Amino acid sequence: MINQTKRRILVIGATGQVGGEVVRTLAGAADVQVLAAVRRDDQAHAMRDLGTEPIHLDLDDRDTVEAAVQGVDGILLMTGYTVDMMKHSKRVIDAAKRAGVDHIVHIGASGADTAEVAHWGWHRMIEAYIETKGFRFTHIQPEAFMQNLLGFGWLQGGALTNLIGNARWSWVDARDVAALAAAALKDPDAFGGQVWRLGYDAATMAEVADRIGTLAGRSVETAPLDPQVFYDGAVGAGADPAYMACIRDQFRLNAAGAIPNADQIFDAAAFQRAVGRAPATWADFVARNADALKAAAA
């Protein structure tokens, strides 16, 4: 591995919600050089504006993957929401091993003990492969993102889409996922060999609607939606059918109470020790995103 003063970190997923927050967090660190993976010129300009070094990476192009991992110490590995995540992840892992990369932080999905949600299993296999190849690793397994309410358009027109019936779900703020990933990338000695499950508040969709309604000063209803209707709409809009089938099945299992400990809350004190602040609760998220939530609930 190249001997460098700064630890060189490649962020795959740099233009996404979690990866972008990791980039912004690490960009100001004196001991880290951030390489932000991008596919387009406009993305490269945005990354330069943040003080990071953009690097072209197309997970469908083996040559760009091989070039991107050269001279890198650590990688944040996040792949797209398609069945190709398996192929893309293996491509990165294999190239990273050849290049002498030391540490991989992988952001996957829930670590719940069930084999019935296929894409959760895909992530477990990726994590196992990282370990098999001998990397120092940090596996991050988030539960449902609070940001889904706004990012997926679940909250609009005074109603909150409900795909899980009366089930209580464990939730995490995507910013907390990014904060832990950034801390691990900076300090693999402290985080190597660890698996983190992230979910710090549990609520039904009706309870979430009540909290938003209190903020907005009006009633926010829940609007039940058949997971099959969700699937048809997502695939019709161009989403990967295999991946969306996983999400549909997860919603069905949640509604049926068939996912063990779906409302499990994890160790907030451990998170605070790792990151230096407490993880967000729903009250924190609602307060911080008050304007956006009020607008969406109107």
Mean pLDDT for 226-245 is 96
Instruction: Please tell me the predicted confidence (pLDDT) of residue 3.
Output: 42
Go through 278-288 and write b for each residue having 16 or more CB atoms within 10 A of its CB, e for each that does not: ebbbbebbbee
pLDDT digits (tens, 9 = 90+) for 7-17: 999 999 998 89
Most confident of the ranges 39-43, 109-113, 200-204: 200-204
Per DSSP, helices labelled H in the chain are 17-27, 41-49, 62-68, 85-99, 118-132, 148-151, 174-186, 188-191, 205-216, 227-236, 241-255, 268-275, 282-288, 290-297
Degrees, nearest 5: CA angle 36-37-39: 135
The residue among 28 and 250 whose pLDDT is bigger is 250
Question: pTM (2 decimals)?
Answer: 0.94
Q: CA–CA separation, 72 vs 55, rounded Å?
A: 12
pLDDT digits (tens, 9 = 90+) for 85-130: 999 999 999 999 999 999 999 999 999 988 899 999 999 999 999 9
In this predicted structure, the answer to whether residue 1 has a pLDDT above a threshold of 50 is no
Helix 268-275 and helix 174-186: axis angle, to 10°? 50
pLDDT digits (tens, 9 = 90+) for 140-164: 999 999 999 998 889 988 899 999 9
Question: Across the chain, which distance is largest between two alpha carbons, in Å?
Answer: 59
Mean residue pLDDT of the chain comes to 94
Instruction: Please tell me the predicted confidence (pLDDT) of residue 4.
Output: 57
In this predicted structure, the answer to whether residue 2 has a pLDDT above a threshold of 50 is no
CA distances from 189 to 80, 100, 137, 192 (A): 28, 17, 10, 6
pLDDT band (50, 70, 90) for residue 200: very high
In this predicted structure, the answer to whether residue 175 has a pLDDT above a threshold of 90 is yes
Q: CA–CA separation, 295 vs 80, rounded Å?
A: 29
Instruction: Please tell me the predicted confidence (pLDDT) of residue 76.
Output: 98
Mean pLDDT for 234-255 is 96
Q: Which domains does the chain have, with CATH numbers?
A: 7-147+172-200+264-280 (3.40.50.720)
Instruction: Please tell me the predicted confidence (pLDDT) of residue 157.
Output: 84
Structure tokens at 218: 């009006």
In this predicted structure, the answer to whether residue 166 has a pLDDT above a threshold of 80 is yes
